[in-house]
Amino acid sequence: MPTPAVARRKWRRAECVLRTRRADPRQAAGPSRRAQTCDGPGGRIGPSDSFGLERASLSIALNIAEGAGQRSRPNKSRFYGIARGSANECAAIIHLLRVRGLASEAACSRARELLVRIVQMLTQLQQRMAA
């Protein structure tokens, strides 16, 4: 298990690689989702705004899948807890998009409702695995 400092350096290195790859004009010609932007009510939502939301939302689904594939209850509980943390991260990103004026109030409130329900379900799953 790497130390926290080593893990942070690896994470920063990976972020730099991702930023470099997204900024590469040769890759912008392809159908990359990260290279796309979309219009929000307060302006354009670019790759830097949507990448965190995309990453966190994928993390929810992937951790649920990985937890479902585990045999031991403590491992299942751990992955469901990680998925719950990612759902909370999505909620924070959506809140920031709303505060910055990059998303409408209606879209943010609907997304928040869905995320609250997801967190409730993941909490129940985690509690059942801990019992």
Per-residue model confidence as pLDDT tens digits over 25-77: 444 444 444 434 444 444 445 556 677 889 999 999 999 999 999 999 999 99
Confidence at residue 113, expressed as pLDDT on a 0 to 100 scale: 95
Amino acid, res. 55: R
Closest CA to 32 of 20, 22, 45, 46: 22
> Among the listed ranges 3-7, 40-44, 61-65, 95-99, which one has the minimum average pLDDT value?
40-44
Taking residues 97-116, report their average pLDDT: 92
Give the rounded distance of the alpha carbon of 81 from its chain centre: 14
Confidence at residue 35, expressed as pLDDT on a 0 to 100 scale: 39
Round to whole Å and give the CA distance between 24 and 27: 6
Closest CA to 50 of 69, 33, 63, 64: 33
CA distances from 13 to 9, 16, 37, 91 (A): 6, 5, 24, 26
Confidence at residue 23, expressed as pLDDT on a 0 to 100 scale: 47
Helices 47-68 & 4-23 angle (0-180, nearest 10)? 130
Tokens of 5: 């400092």
Q: Is the C-alpha dihedral spanning 71, 76, 79, 80 positive or negative?
A: positive
